[in-house]
């Protein structure tokens, strides 16, 4: 099963990283870096910290991570279903949950690579200017968890509906923006799961006031974020495996 899973993940990853998609998402990933470099020109040390925190929150965690993860996840299974190739994959003597887990792994690797590159470059630019490298590892870990959360939700959604990307963008740009400002709704924001891990790991003054940097009612903490992501991934695999067993894999929704 493990050998089959890695084989499926490798082929799926190759399918997901098409040249046109990668170029577009890579340009998106580089936007926060350019904005940070331009924004910190002639700014003081205190402003440099605030600019970095704002860009990391609103652009990297809030836009780059979800958009890349949704783009990869929506077609990981859904694309093969609509192309008519999924039925051939399921003819192999591989458990459905292994197929789903392998597809999720491929989508996560592609999305996490882009998102962590974006966050790491912004953080390195900040660290070189401020001589503060304490946020680099938390940034990478937080973005890896955020992308995993989106993958767990949008791989099954992409299998179910054709317009999963549009649904995802509405969720990101409308619902998550609203949820962050309303008491009790912030936990429904997937990028805030990874960001809570980032906030829990940071030991500098940059996020002492975590509420002011987008967490809302979500408590910072690495352990809690890992548990939430693990639950989402487990549920995503179970639900999607059941869908593969019970639905017409060649049909449209």
How far apart are alpha carbons 172 and 89 in whole angstroms? 31
Angle at 69 between CA 170 and CA 152, to 5 degrees: 90
92-130 pLDDT, tens digit each: 778 889 889 999 999 999 999 999 999 999 999 999 888
Decide: pTM greater than 0.75: yes
**Counts for the chain of helices (H) and strands (E), in that order:** 12, 0
Q: Work out the angle at residue 72's Cα, subtended by the Cα atoms of residues 67 and 75, and round it to the nearest 5 degrees.
A: 125
- pLDDT-derived band at 13, boundaries 50, 70, 90: confident
d(CA 213, CA 88): 47
**Residue given tokens 């590892």 in the structure block:** 137
* 193: nearest Cα among 148, 153, 154: 148
173-212 residue pLDDT tens:
999 888 776 767 888 899 999 999 998 898 655 554 444 5
> Which residues in 3-150 belong to E strands, given as ranges?
none
């Amino acid at each position: 099963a493990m050998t089959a899973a890695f084989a499926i993940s490798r082929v799926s990853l190759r399918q997901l990283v098409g040249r046109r998609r990668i170029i577009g998402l890579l340009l998106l990933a580089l936007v926060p870096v350019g904005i940070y470099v331009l924004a910190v020109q002639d700014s003081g040390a205190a402003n440099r910290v605030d600019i970095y925190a704002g860009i990391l929150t609103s652009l990297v965690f809030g836009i780059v991570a979800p958009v890349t993860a949704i783009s990869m996840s929506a077609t990981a299974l859904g694309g093969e279903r609509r192309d008519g190739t999924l039925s051939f994959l399921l003819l192999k003597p591989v458990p459905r949950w292994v197929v789903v887990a392998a597809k999720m792994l491929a989508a996560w690797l592609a999305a996490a690579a882009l998102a962590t590159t974006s966050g790491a470059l912004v953080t390195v630019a900040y660290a070189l200017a401020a001589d503060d490298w304490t946020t680099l590892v938390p940034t990478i870990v937080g973005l890896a968890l955020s992308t995993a959360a989106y993958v767990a939700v949008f791989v099954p959604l992409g299998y179910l509906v054709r317009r999963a990307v549009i649904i995802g963008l509405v969720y990101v740009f409308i619902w998550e923006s609203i949820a962050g400002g309303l008491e009790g709704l912030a936990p429904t924001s997937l990028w805030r799961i990874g960001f809570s891990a980032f906030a829990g790991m940071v030991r500098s003054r940059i996020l002492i006031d975590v509420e002011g940097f987008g967490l809302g009612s979500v408590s910072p903490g690495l352990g809690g974020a890992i548990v939430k992501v693990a639950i989402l991934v487990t549920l995503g695999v179970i639900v999607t495996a059941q869908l593969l067993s019970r639905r017409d894999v060649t049909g449209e929704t």
